[in-house]
Structure 1
C-alpha cells in the first residue's frame, strides 16, 4: 500500500473514532453505566473481554483519541488493580509506539507543521540527555502524552528503545488511574483524581 493510501486509511480511522466519540456522553456517570453493563459479560467471558479491551486501548492510544484516561479507569474497574495495570501498561505502550511510527513514516510533515516549535525542544533534549530525556517526559508529563508520541517520531530514536523507555516511564501514572478505577464510585471528577487518590486508602485486596 502506498503512503497516500495509508494516510487516507489513517485519517479515516481517526475521523471514524471521533465520530463515534461524538455520540457518547463521556462522564464518570456514563462510565459507571457502561461498566455495569460490561461487568456480567466480563465475568462470563474474561479472556475475550480482556482481549477486546486491550485491542481497543491500543487503537485509542495509537489514534490519539481523547478517551485513553477513561479506558484506563475502566481497566481498573473491570479487571482489578494488578491485571488492569498489566493490560493497560502494555496496551498504552504499544499504542504509543504505533503513534510514534505513524508520525515517523506517515505524518512527519503534518506533525512538524503543527508541533514544530516543540519538535526543536525534543530534538535538543534527546541530543543532550539521550533516552533519559524521554524517560523524564514520561515521569513528569510537562507535554501532552499524544504530543510526546508524535514528536518522538521526528527524532532518530529507535522504535524499540522508545517502547522500552516509555512503558516503565508511564507505569506510575498508569497505576494511579488504574487504582482509582477500582473504586469508580468514589470519584467525583478527573481534575481531583491525583489528590483524591493520595488521600484514599487502596482497596486492591478486594479487586477482582
Structure 2
C-alpha cells in the first residue's frame, strides 16, 4: 500500500485543476459576472442574475439557483467549457467523498435537461465512486480499517452472507435511501468487493436517486426547499426499489442451495 500522503498529493492536484478551470474560462465574461463587475442580462429564465456570485460549490437552494443562472448564461456561447467544468466538479466531489452531490445532480437537470443529464450523472457517479475506491485501496486501506472497525465488521458479515448474490446486495444498499454512499466507496476495497461489480452497482443503483434530483433541476425555479424533494413518499419509493433488488438475490441463493443439496445426495 502506498503512503497516505499520496492521497493528499492527488487531492492537491485535483484541487489545483478545478481552481484553474473555474478561474480561467475561454473569455472573461464568466469571471466578470461572478465577481459582480458585469451583468449582461437582468434575468435568466425568470431568475435575476445576482450582483455577486462566487464560483463555488452550492450549499443551499439560493446559491444553487444563482450558480445555475450564471452557467446557463455562459452555456449559450461556451457549452463545452460548462460541460467540462461540471464534469470536473462532479468527479472531484465523488472522488474525495465530499457531501452535497444532490446540488450538482439538480444543477445538471437545470443545465443539460433530462435526457443528457441522466446518463451523464449516472456515469460520473460511477466513475467518481470508482476513483474513491481506488484511492482507498491504494492509500487508505489500513486507515479505513482502523477508523471504522465496527462498521467494517458488520458490512463484512453482510457481504459474506450474500456472497452468492453479491451484485444484488450491492444494488440494494445503493438504492436504500439511508445508506452512506461515501462510506461504501471507502470500505468496498477493504471488503474485497470486485471493482467491476462495484462500478456497475453504483451506475445502476443510484439511477433512481439521480433521476429524482435531475427532474427537480428541470423545474429549479419552482422549487422552494431542498427538503421537499425527498419527502416521505419519495423515500418510500426508493426503499421499495431497494427491497425489490434483494428478491433476485434471495431466489438465486435459494436455488443454489437446493442444487448443492442435490449434488451432495
Q: Matched residues in 2 for 1:25 and 1:141: separation?
A: 22
Deviations 1:30-81 (A, max 9, x none): 1111111111211222233222211221111111112211111100000011
Give runs of aligned pairs for residues 126-141 of structure 1, distance below 5 A: 126-129=159-162, 130-141=166-177
Of the candidates 14, 19, 29, which is equivalent to residue 62 of structure 2?
29
Of the candidates 176, 183, 188, which is equivalent to residue 152 of structure 1?
188
SS at 1:156 equivalent: coil
Q: Matched residues in 2 for 1:62 and 1:109: separation?
A: 18
2:215 aligned partner: 179
Give runs of aligned pairs for residues 1-208 of structure 1, distance below 5 A: 3-10=3-10, 12=12, 26-129=59-162, 130-195=166-231
- Structure of higher CA gyration radius: 2
Name the Cα RMSD after superposition.
2.5
Deviation, 1:28, is 0.6
TM-score (norm 1): 0.82
Deviation, 1:85, is 1.0
TM-score (norm 2): 0.66
Q: Matched residues in 1 for 2:131 and 2:64: separation?
A: 26
Q: Matched residues in 1 for 2:122 and 2:152: separation?
A: 26
Deviations 1:154-195 (A, max 9, x none): 111211121012210110111000111111122222222123
1:202 aligned partner: none
Which residues of structure 1 form unaligned runs of 5+?
Answer: 199-208
1:131–1:121 Cα change, 3 Å: farther
1:30–1:91 Cα change, 3 Å: same
Which residues of structure 2 form unaligned runs of 5+?
Answer: 19-53, 235-265
Deviation, 1:4, is 4.5
Tell me which protein shows more helix as a share of its residues.
1
Q: Matched residues in 1 for 2:228 and 2:139: separation?
A: 37
